[in-house]
A and B are shown apart, each in its own frame.
Chain A
C-alpha cells in the first residue's frame, strides 16, 4: 500500500484546495476519472482498481455521494491476493450497508474465505460480516462462524472475531443460535484464558442471556469466576491492564451479563459475587489521587452498582447515576439527572445519604421540592426532614432546613415533622434562642403557612422570653404579631395560640397590664367559642391567669422530652422509617411527659400538652391505662369512638393519595379488642403483635399493621422495628416471581443472638428464604433474600416468624410479609377495542362477579383512580361513557393461571360516595373472586389487607367510619345487597 502515490497526491490536492468550490471541482474530476476507468475496466490492473476504490472511500468520507463503483469494490473481495482483497473488504463495509443488493453478490466469496484455510482471509471476512452482515448472511454463514468460534485449531485472533461476528448475526436473526447445546459451548468459551477472546465472548453472552437467561444459566458461575479473576488481578497479563485496572471493560461487560440473571441460586457463587462487588464498590484497588485511574474505576463503579442494585432487587439506571454523581462529583453534574427523580431513586438517594453528602442532598431535595410533582412532595419533604435530622452537622442547620421546608412546602409537611423540630428545640437549650429568633424572622413575612404559625406559636410561647431584649421581641410585640395571624388559621391551631398567649402573659417581665388586658379580651372572646377545645382553654387560661403565682406553676416550661434511647443517634434512627409511623411514635414518646404535667388533676385539659391539643393525649392516656387495667369493654369502646374526631383533627396530614395510614393508634385498638373478645393471640392476624405480648418487655416501635399496609402498596420500607432491631424490606416483582430482601439491622452495640426466621407460607405461595445468620453483629445489617413464587390467586398472607435474643430476653414477632395479591399484578392499559370484546365474552358468574359495596370510604374519582393505579390495576380512561364510572384492567401472574387478563368496572353514585357497584371479570373464577374481594377491601378501608388472615373475627359494634376496622368486612354489606339491585 506504500506505493499508492496517486492516493497521496489526491489527498494533498484536496488539502490544498482554497475553498469548497475548488474541492468540489477536484473531487468531480477524480470521480469522472474513476468512472471512466471503471467503465472500460478490461485493462484495469488490480493495483489501479485498489487505488481508485480507496479514493472512492476518501471522497465518500469528505461528504460526497459516491453512487457508482460499488460493484468494483465488492468484486475486489474475490481478488486472489491479500492487498486487493483487504481493500475490497474494508471499502465494501464502509460504502455499503446490509440493505444493499450488491452485498448479496459477495456472500459466496465471503463464505469461501470463512471456510477457507487462510487465517487472514478468515479475519477479513468475519470483520465484514460482523460489521454489515444482514439476515441473509445470518442464514447462510452462522454455522460456519460458530464452528470457527469453538474451533481449537484457530488462533484467538480469529475466534474473537468469530464471537462478535456471531453476535451480529444473532442480533439480525436470533434463530441462528439455539440455546440447547450451544449454552455448554458458551460455558466452555468462558474458560478461555485469552482476554481478547473473553472480551468478545462476553459481548456475545450478554446478548444471548438478554434473550434467554435460563438457557445460559451454566454460564453464570463462569462469569463470577471471570469477575473474580479480574478483580483480584489473577493471571491478567500486563497488556490487559488499563491504568492499573485489569481490563475494566471486560469487568463492566461481565457485570452486565450477570444483571440478566434474575437470581443466583448457588450460595457460594452468590457469596463470591458479593465479595467481588464489594471489592469493586469499595474501590480497594484504586490508588488515591490517581486521576486517570479514578475515572476508570468510576466506570466500573456504575455497573458494579447496577449489578449490586439488581441483586438487591432494585433496578433503575438513574439511581446508579445519582449515586455515582455523589460519589464522583467532579465528573458529572447532577442537575439534569435530578429531573429523572423517581420515587425509587429518591429512596436510594435517601438511603445513600451520609454525613459527607447530606448537606448537598438535602439542599438538592429542598430545591427539587418546588418543582416536583405534587404526588411526590410530601414524600420529598419528609425525606428531606429525616435526612436533615439524621445527618445535621449542627442542630441550627437542622432548624433552618425544617423551617425552610415548612416555608416552601407547608402543605406537604406533615405534623410529625414540626413536632420533631419542637422536640429538638425543647431538648436542646442552646438551640432555644436560635430557634425563637428564627421563627420570629419568619413571622415577619406577609403570608405564612399555618404549620409555620403552629411552630412559631409553640416556640415563641416557650422560648419567646429568651429574646425579650431584642428589638421587636417584647412579649407585647410577640403577642401582636402572633395575634395578627389568628384570623387566618383554622380552629385546631387556635388552642395552640391561646396557650402561647397564656405563656407570653406569664413571661412578661415586668408584668404588662396592657398586654394582660389584650390577652384577657381574647380569652373572653373565645369563652363562648363553639369549639369545645377552644372554649375550655379560653376559660381555664383566663381563670388561671388571675391566680398570679399559680400560673407560673401550671404554665411552667415544658419538661424535656424523654429520650427513649440514650444517644441522640439512636433516637434519630427511630425516625428513619417514614411519615406514617413517626407521628405515632412521637405520641408514644409524649405520653410520659404528659403524665408528669397532668399529675395535678385539676388542669388536665387546661394545660397545653407539648405538641397536641389536650383531648387527644388525654384520651390516649386514658386509653392506655384502660387497657392496662382491663376496664370494662364499654368504657374502652366509647374511647375508641371518641378517638375518631382525633383522627379527623389530624386529618390534615393524610396525603393526597390516602395511601399512608391515618394516624390512629391501631396497636392499642387491637389490644383492646383482643381483651374484650378473648380471641387468642394466634387468631389475631390483624395485629400480629409479638407473641407473649404481655410478658415481652420489648415493644415494637411504630405500628406493625400500618407498616405492613404501607408495604402492600410500595416495594420498600420498614416491616418491623423495636429498640434493638429494624427489619426492612425491599421487593421486586416480575410476573409470578418475586424477590424480597429482608434487611435485618442491629441497632445496638451488642450482638443479637439466636436469630431465627421461619416462613409460614400460605398454600398459594412458594417461599424460599436464604440462610439467616444466627447472630447479627453490633450495628450491622444482614440481608436475607427471599424468593417468592405465586402458584394461584389467593388473598392469604405469608407470615414471617421472627425471633432473636437480646441479652437474656427473647424477643419474637410474627410479621406478615407484603407478598400480597396485588404484587402479582402487572399494569395493563387497554383500548376500547381490546376491552369490550373481552368484557362481553366473560359473561356472568363465576367468571364475572358483581357486587354492590356499601360503606366505601368516600373518595373522589381521581383519588379512586390513584388508588387503583397504586395497586397496579390500571384505569383505562374514557372507556366508559358514563363519567361516574371507572373501567380498569390488569394482568395477573401465577404459576397455575397463565398471565391472566383481569377487567373491572366501578360504577359510582355521585350522590352517595359511600356506595358503588363493582364488577370484576377474568378467565379464572377463583381469580375473579379473589380480585373482587381484594378491591373491595381496598375501597372499604384504606389501607387494606389487614384482614386476610382473619376472615371471621367477630368484632362487635365497631364504628363504620373508623377506617381500618376489621368489622367492616364481617358486615359485608355488598353481599347482602347484591340481590336487591
Chain B
C-alpha cells in the first residue's frame, strides 16, 4: 500500500519493457506521465501547514506520507542535493526559514524545474502576505489553498506570472 501501488505508477527504470507488447508499453508510458503527486508544506517540528494531493490516497496513507517526507527532509544535510528519492518517486524540497516545501514527482522529472517552482510559489506567498511568515500561513491556510489552486492544477503548473495570480486573488477577495 504505497503510493506506487495505489497509483499504479512504476518508474521506467525498474521495468523490463521487453516483457510487454507495444500496446502495454504505450499504456505504461501513459501512466508514467510526469506531474506533481503531492505538495507538502511542513515546519521543522513536522506540523503540516499545507497538504495537497493530486493522486488518490486514503487518509491514513496521507498521514504516513507526511510523516515520512518530514523525516526525510528535516535531517538531511544541507550540503546534499535538494532531491531525494521517496519510495518509487522523488521529493524535491526547499527550506525557507523553518518551513520545508516538498514536491513529490516522478523519478524522470526535471528536478530543477520543480525546485524553481517552489521558489516561485514562495515569492507569490511573500508578495501576497507581504513578508510572509509561518504564522500567516497558519491563520490564513484557506488563502494558501486558494493561491495554490491558482498556481498548480492537476499536478501541473498552471500560471507562472506572479502578477496574474496576485490580481486573481484580489478579484476573489472582492467576491467574499
A207, closest chain B residue (CB)? B33
Contact with A along B94-109 (1 / 0, CB 8 A): 0000000000000010
Contact with A along B20-58 (1 / 0, CB 8 A): 011000100110011100000000000111111111111
Q: What are 17 A-B residue pairs whose CB atoms fall within 8 Å in the complex?
A: A61-B141, A99-B56, A127-B149, A131-B154, A134-B56, A157-B168, A164-B154, A164-B158, A165-B153, A203-B35, A242-B120, A249-B157, A256-B34, A299-B115, A303-B113, A332-B81, A874-B18
Check: B163 CB closer than 8 A to any chain A CB: yes
Check: B71 CB closer than 8 A to any chain A CB: no
Contact with B along A18-35 (1 / 0, CB 8 A): 000000000000000000
Contact with A along B103-131 (1 / 0, CB 8 A): 00000101111011100100000000000
Which residues in A have their C-beta under 8 angstroms from that of B157? 199, 203, 249, 253
Check: A65 CB closer than 8 A to any chain B CB: yes
Once the chains bind, are B18 and A826 in contact (CB under 8 Å)? yes
Once the chains bind, are B176 and A302 in contact (CB under 8 Å)? no
Contact with B along A236-252 (1 / 0, CB 8 A): 01011010000111101
- B21, B35, B55 — which one has the most chain A CB atoms within 10 A of its CB? B35
Once the chains bind, are A200 and B30 in contact (CB under 8 Å)? no
By secondary structure, the A interface counts as helix
Once the chains bind, are A248 and B116 in contact (CB under 8 Å)? yes
Having A127-B149, A207-B33, A242-B160, one finds 15 other A-B pairs with CB under 8 Å, namely: A1-B142, A54-B142, A63-B63, A83-B176, A120-B175, A126-B153, A134-B56, A164-B156, A199-B157, A210-B29, A239-B161, A239-B164, A302-B110, A735-B22, A899-B21
Which residues in B have their C-beta under 8 angstroms from that of A199? 157-160
Check: A298 CB closer than 8 A to any chain B CB: yes
Distance to closest chain B CB from A97 (angstroms): 4
Knowing A157-B168, A200-B158, A250-B160, the reply to whether A90 touches B149 (Cβ < 8 A) is yes
B contact set with A: CB distance below 8 Å: 16, 18-19, 21-22, 26, 29-30, 33-35, 47-60, 63, 66, 80-81, 108, 110-113, 115-117, 120, 138-139, 141-142, 145-146, 149, 153-164, 168, 172, 175-176
Report the bound CA distance from A240 to B159 in whole Å. 9
Which residues in B have their C-beta under 8 angstroms from that of A751? none
Knowing A90-B146, A249-B117, the reply to whether A160 touches B158 (Cβ < 8 A) is yes
Interchain residue pairs A-B with the least CB separation, the first 7: A299-B112, A97-B56, A130-B154, A168-B154, A203-B156, A239-B161, A239-B163
* Residues of chain A from 22 to 78 with CB closer than 8 A to chain B in the complex: 54, 57-58, 60-63, 65-67
Once the chains bind, are A196 and B153 in contact (CB under 8 Å)? no
Distance to closest chain A CB from B93 (angstroms): 15
Check: A15 CB closer than 8 A to any chain B CB: yes
* Residues of chain A from 316 to 333 with CB closer than 8 A to chain B in the complex: 317, 331-333
| Partner of A299 from B52, B54, B110, B162 at Cβ < 8 Å | B110
Report the bound CA distance from A164 to B33 in whole Å. 13
| Partner of B49 from A54, A61, A66, A97 at Cβ < 8 Å | A61
Once the chains bind, are B175 and A127 in contact (CB under 8 Å)? no
Once the chains bind, are A65 and B59 in contact (CB under 8 Å)? yes
Once the chains bind, are A249 and B18 in contact (CB under 8 Å)? no
Contact with B along A853-882 (1 / 0, CB 8 A): 000000000000000000000100000000
Which residues in B have their C-beta under 8 angstroms from that of A237? 161
Distance to closest chain B CB from A635 (angstroms): 52
Which residues in B have their C-beta under 8 angstroms from that of A203? 35, 154, 156-157
Once the chains bind, are B66 and A63 in contact (CB under 8 Å)? yes
Distance to closest chain B CB from A96 (angstroms): 9
Once the chains bind, are A249 and B113 in contact (CB under 8 Å)? yes
Which residues in B have their C-beta under 8 angstroms from that of A11? 138-139
B63, closest chain A residue (CB)? A63
Once the chains bind, are B26 and A94 in contact (CB under 8 Å)? no
Once the chains bind, are B116 and A317 in contact (CB under 8 Å)? no
Report the bound CA distance from A493 to B33 in whole Å. 58
B157, closest chain A residue (CB)? A249
Once the chains bind, are B110 and A61 in contact (CB under 8 Å)? no
Report the bound CA distance from A344 to B81 in whole Å. 24
Distance to closest chain A CB from B114 (angstroms): 9
Which residues in A have their C-beta under 8 angstroms from that of B108? 317
- B19, B56, B157 — which one has the most chain A CB atoms within 10 A of its CB? B157
Report the bound CA distance from A211 to B117 in whole Å. 26
Check: A936 CB closer than 8 A to any chain B CB: no
Report the bound CA distance from A829 to B26 in whole Å. 19
Once the chains bind, are A174 and B116 in contact (CB under 8 Å)? no
Check: A147 CB closer than 8 A to any chain B CB: no
| Partner of B172 from A8, A120, A200 at Cβ < 8 Å | A120
Knowing A161-B158, A249-B117, the reply to whether A827 touches B18 (Cβ < 8 A) is yes
Distance to closest chain A CB from B42 (angstroms): 10
Report the bound CA distance from A126 to B149 in whole Å. 10
Report the bound CA distance from A240 to B162 in whole Å. 8
Report the bound CA distance from A211 to B26 in whole Å. 7
Once the chains bind, are A61 and B51 in contact (CB under 8 Å)? yes
Check: A295 CB closer than 8 A to any chain B CB: yes
B47, closest chain A residue (CB)? A62
